[in-house]
């Protein structure tokens, strides 16, 4: 074999060897690279049964620094708890159980500020405002709010820390089946925050509602909706108005911005700006909700433009008064001669009297 060929083979062998070494070196380096161990985020405080979780350092650096008086602490359901857990977080608590059961969950208090916070937790019963908005009952709770027990009512949360607070809902033996809405309320430094608690007690449920006190007037229709069942309802409203000459209003079903709690009554209004000025109208409201709830009510009204009627009446009275005045004036002008007639009558009486007097003298 020629020297040139050997040299070529030697060169190829050397290149292959270098390539192989390079590959080995790369593999060795890749094997040595290891991810740093993740720091433990959870430390249990067994005496208080409250878990305190430090917020990640990177997240704390990227997030804005809140002032001590910003009130930026927050309250939220812990992810992954309850009877309907959610890894990405839950907007509210949902718990369900039979009478006599004890349901457990966890609420999170987050303090991203630079000073510690002492937050006081309590339970509250839900209610509706008069116009249907969700609110909390004032005073001491008697329903769901009184069934909530916290591992610790007052929780001290260090700066840039998240506290996980376990709580339980003890459903009484005689609890009525159906929905029992409530809330968890946190208070600190004159600020309140709350999270809804949707509790359903297992058993028969009934969806029922009624429509009452329908009153069309002043360009609107007012009415009451009453939840006669034991479930929370979101009503849908349909409006129809019939006049003397046919339909005046026909609005299809639409969802009302109301979360109607069991046993609650709300007063609502429906605008009707193009109502006729003069007509006899019958207004019918139909309200429905999930679960077969259905209610209908009607009201009749005579629409009269009283302003125009009052103006016409005043005009008629004015004309009548002017007519009476004119008639009396004409009567006075035409009766100038009659005042002499009594004098003629008086003369005749005197003559008769004089004649009678002469006769008596004879």
Tens digits of residue pLDDT in 340-351: 544 444 434 333
Average the pLDDT over 11-38 and give the result. Answer: 36
Alpha carbon 232 to its chain's center: 13
Cβ atoms of 172 and 196 within 8 Å: the answer is no
Between residues 345 and 220, the one the model is more confident about = 220
The highest-confidence range among 25-29, 231-235, 313-317, 358-362, by mean pLDDT, is 231-235
For residue 129, pLDDT over 60 is answered with yes
For residue 282, pLDDT over 70 is answered with yes
Least confident window among 46-50, 84-88, 335-339: 46-50
Average the pLDDT over 60-73 and give the result. Answer: 46
pLDDT of residue 264: 96
For residue 211, pLDDT over 70 is answered with yes
pLDDT, tens digit, for every residue of 154-207?
999 999 999 999 999 999 999 999 999 999 999 998 899 999 999 999 999 999
Least confident window among 11-25, 60-74, 285-299, 312-326: 11-25
pLDDT of residue 199: 97
For residue 311, pLDDT over 70 is answered with no
Side-chain-side CA neighbours of 35 within 13 Å: the count stands at 3
Least confident window among 179-183, 215-219, 266-270: 215-219
Average the pLDDT over 302-329 and give the result. Answer: 58
Q: How confident is the model at residue 54 (pLDDT cuts 50, 70, 90)?
A: very low
Q: Count other C-beta atoms under 10 Å from residue 222's C-beta.
A: 15
Cβ atoms of 63 and 74 within 8 Å: the answer is no
Q: How confident is the model at residue 80 (pLDDT cuts 50, 70, 90)?
A: low
For residue 36, pLDDT over 50 is answered with no
Main-chain dihedrals φ then ψ at residue 56, nearest 5 degrees:
-60, 145
Name the residue among 226, 270, 224 with its Cα closest to residue 251.
Answer: 270
Token pair of 325, please?
A: 């005045």
User: What value does the CA radius of gyration of the chain take, rounded to a whole number of Å?
Assistant: 45
Average the pLDDT over 26-54 and give the result. Answer: 38
Q: What is the pTM of this model?
A: 0.65
pLDDT of residue 345: 44
For residue 147, pLDDT over 90 is answered with yes
Q: What is the mean pLDDT of the chain?
A: 75
Which residues, listed in sequence order, are joined to residue 13 by a DSSP beta bridge? none
């Amino acid at each position: 074999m020629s020297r040139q060929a050997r040299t070529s083979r030697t060169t190829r062998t050397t290149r292959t060897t270098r390539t192989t070494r390079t590959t080995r070196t790369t593999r060795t380096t890749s094997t040595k690279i290891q991810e740093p161990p993740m720091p433990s985020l959870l430390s249990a405080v067994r005496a208080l049964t409250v878990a305190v979780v430090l917020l990640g350092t990177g997240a704390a650096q990227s997030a804005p620094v809140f002032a001590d008086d910003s009130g930026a602490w927050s309250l939220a359901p812990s992810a992954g708890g309850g009877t309907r857990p959610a890894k990405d977080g839950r907007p509210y608590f949902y718990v369900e159980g039979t009478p006599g059961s004890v349901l457990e969950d966890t609420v999170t208090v987050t303090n991203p500020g630079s000073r510690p916070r002492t937050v006081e937790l309590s339970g509250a019963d839900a209610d509706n405002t008069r116009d249907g908005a969700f609110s909390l009952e004032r005073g001491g709770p008697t329903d769901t709010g009184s069934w909530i027990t916290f591992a610790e009512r007052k929780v001290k949360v260090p700066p840039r820390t998240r506290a996980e607070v376990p709580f339980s809902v003890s459903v009484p033996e005689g609890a009525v089946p159906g929905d029992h809405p409530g809330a968890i309320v946190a208070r600190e430094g004159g600020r309140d925050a709350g999270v809804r608690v949707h509790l359903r007690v297992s058993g028969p449920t009934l969806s029922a509602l009624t429509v009452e006190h329908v009153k069309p007037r002043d360009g609107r229709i007012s009415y009451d909706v009453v939840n006669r069942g034991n479930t929370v309802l979101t009503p849908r409203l349909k409006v129809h108005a019939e006049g003397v000459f046919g339909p005046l209003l026909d609005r299809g079903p639409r969802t009302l911005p109301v979360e109607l709690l069991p046993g609650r009554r709300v007063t609502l209004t429906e605008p009707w700006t193009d109502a006729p000025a003069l007509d006899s109208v019958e207004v019918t409201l139909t309200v429905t909700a999930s679960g077969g709830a259905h209610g209908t009510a009607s009201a009749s009204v005579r629409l009269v433009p009283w302003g125009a009627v009052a103006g016409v009446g005043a005009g008629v009275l004015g004309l009548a008064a002017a007519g009476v005045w004119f008639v009396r004036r004409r009567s006075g002008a035409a009766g100038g001669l009659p005042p002499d007639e009594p004098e003629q009558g008086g003369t005749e009486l005197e003559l008769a009297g004089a004649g009678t007097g002469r006769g008596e003298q004879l």
